[in-house]
Amino acid sequence: MKTLISLFLFTLIGLTLKTNEMLELLKTHIKNKEEDKAISLIKENSDVLSLKDENGSSGLMMIAYSGLEKAFEQAIELRKSFSFYEAIVCGKTDIVNDYLNKPGFDLLNTHSNDGFTPLSLAAFFNQTKIAKSLVELGADPNLSATNPSKVNALHAAMAKENYELCKLFIENGADVNAVQMQNVTPLHSAVHRGNLDLVKLLIENNASITMKMDNGDTALIIAEREGHENITKYLLNK
């Protein structure tokens, strides 16, 4: 009996080591931008997509954040089932709706394992259709991430320069002066990206021109330093 238990424990430990090694290998490929190797790994060991690290992030989500587009596309094809948050990131509208329609579940204004809201994830991954549905159901665009980034839906949409979603969030009560990490406002982000249309949208909706980041930068300082002459002229006129 003791021998069987020992054998079971040894096998279990071996499997744990193997899964941890696969996850670490995936992280290494992502860090080094080795897309072909990442694709080979998930094709040979698709289970790595469902494994989670110490922060609760799955292999699929790691690839999603990596910017390795081909690897992400392959991961979506290989993933057998999706969590609510993974379904949002991967644009699986039907699965998202199934989760939202489950009786007794209220996922609309929750946070993923890595701290982001459903609406912020939809915005960051340019899942505009899903984001619109979430807003219609009552998702709060002002709900910040529980991680150090403090990103909300407007910050996420601004990072992707998604004018349609930025406008939608503002129309649904998003605070245009809400700050994320380092006291960065949506306006700071829009100016940094040189997007005059978004700058205008924010200022027309009462975004503050004088708010400062932790390093003292205002929107005007960023525009002048980064050579966005059209934005500098517009801000000076305001």
pLDDT of residue 5: 43
Q: What is the pLDDT of residue 102?
A: 87
The tokens 């009786």 sit on which residue?
Answer: 103
Here the tokens at position 48 are: 């790595």
Is the Cβ–Cβ distance between 124 and 155 less than 8 Å?
no
Work out how many domains the chain is built from and give that number. 1
What gap in Å lies between CA 205 and CA 48, rounded to an integer? 45
Residue 134 has pLDDT above 80, yes or no: yes
**40 within a domain of the structure (yes/no):** yes
Residue 52, domain member (yes or no): yes
Domain boundaries, position 23: 18-80
204 in a structural domain: no
What is the pTM for the complete model shown?
A: 0.88
Rounded Cα distance, 58 and 49, in Å? 6
Query: Does residue 6 sit within a domain?
Result: no
Domain membership of residue 27 (yes or no) is yes
Q: Would you say residue 35 lies in a domain? A: yes
What is the chain's length? 238
Q: Is residue 61 part of a domain?
A: yes
Q: Are the C-beta atoms of residues 74 and 43 closer than 8 Å to each other?
A: yes
Residue 181 lies in a domain: no
Radius of gyration from C-alpha coordinates of the chain: 21
Q: What is the DSSP code (8-state) at residue 215?
A: T
Q: Residue 153 burial (CB < 10 Å; 0-12/13-18/19+)?
A: buried
* Confidence at residue 18, expressed as pLDDT on a 0 to 100 scale: 65
8-state DSSP, 206? T
* φ, ψ for residue 52, nearest 5 deg: -125, 145
The predicted-structure confidence for 172-219, as pLDDT tens digits, reads as follows 999 999 999 999 999 999 999 999 999 999 999 999 999 999 999 999
